[in-house]
Amino acid sequence: MTWTVDPSRVITAEAKAAAAAAATLRAFEDAIQAHVDAMARERTFRDGVTLASYVASTNPQWAAEAQAFVTWRDAIWAYAYGELAKAQGGLRQQPTVEDFLTELPAIAWPTA
């Protein structure tokens, strides 16, 4: 009996590294999204998607909160992807998820 290697089943070091990087990125994305949704819940919205949907609301307070939130959410994700790319490229040390969340920009809610 001879044993034949099936190349499609071979897991290379590169494949392992890519899978680890993808898992790390996913952990950061999940934590950041939870942070974004928690911020929306602070304003009594169900989640970030719900709050963002009020951007064109006829209620001026809701529309203002939604616009501030969308601006902040965009800044969060732009910062996150930029810094995570630096970490993956070796330009900065890989932070823990918890430490990274403390680096994220703060939201500036509109005043009533």
In a domain, residue 30? The reply is: yes
Count structural domains, the chain.
1
Q: How confident is the model at residue 80 (pLDDT cuts 50, 70, 90)?
A: very high
Helix residue ranges, H only, 1-112: 13-42, 48-52, 60-88, 97-103
Report yes or no on whether pTM surpasses 0.75: yes
pLDDT mean over 21-25: 90
- The answer to the question of residue 109 being in a domain is no
In-domain check, residue 3: no
Domain residues for 66? 23-103
At 90-111, the pLDDT tens digits run 999 999 999 999 999 999 999 8
- For residue 11, name the pLDDT band (cuts at 50, 70, 90): confident
Q: Is residue 1 part of a domain?
A: no
- For residue 93, give Cα distances in angstroms to 11, 12, 23, 39, 85: 27, 25, 17, 27, 11
Cβ contact 83:103 at 8 Å: yes
Is 4 inside a domain boundary? no
Give residue 42's pLDDT.
Answer: 94
Residue 5 forms part of a structural domain: no
Residue with structure tokens 């494949």?
15
Matching residue, tokens 């070796």: 90
Residue 42 Cα to chain centre, angstroms: 18
CB atoms inside a 10 Å sphere around CB 72: 19
| Phi, psi of 10, rounded to the nearest 5 degrees | -80, 130
Residue-wise pLDDT for 29-71, tens only, equals 999 999 999 999 999 999 999 999 999 999 999 999 999 999 9
C-alpha 94/C-alpha 25 separation (Å) is 11
Res. 87: pLDDT tops 70: yes
